[in-house]
Amino acid sequence: MKKGLFSPEEIKKIRKSLLQYAFDHNFTESQLIDLIMEKQKKSENSPCVSISECLTDRSFQSIHILCNRIFNANIY
């Protein structure tokens, strides 16, 4: 597994995958943020599982944390 900072290309892939997930499931922005903020398990059908499929060299947990940082303005 790759560790360290995400590259700009990886972040673009994550954003694109997350937005595609929201579009496919007819989520509003607030619904998607609420879903991302929930504690996720790899076995569940969560957005981070779908996104992690596009970055197979990154861990599920690191992708989930990054999604929280990008889309949840209340954390930082």
Pair of tokens at residue 21: 């997930």
**Residue 1 confidence (pLDDT):** 82
**Residue 76 confidence (pLDDT):** 54
**Residue 75 confidence (pLDDT):** 61
Which is nearest to 19 in space by CA: 61, 54, 43? 54
Helix (DSSP H) and strand (DSSP E) numbers for the chain: 4, 0
Q: What pTM was estimated for this model as a whole?
A: 0.74
Indicate the DSSP class of residue 7.
P
For 3-62, the pLDDT digits (tens) are 889 999 999 988 888 888 888 889 887 887 777 777 666 555 666 677 778 888 888 888
Are 40 and 64 a contacting pair, CB within 8 Å? Answer: yes
**Residue 69 confidence (pLDDT):** 82
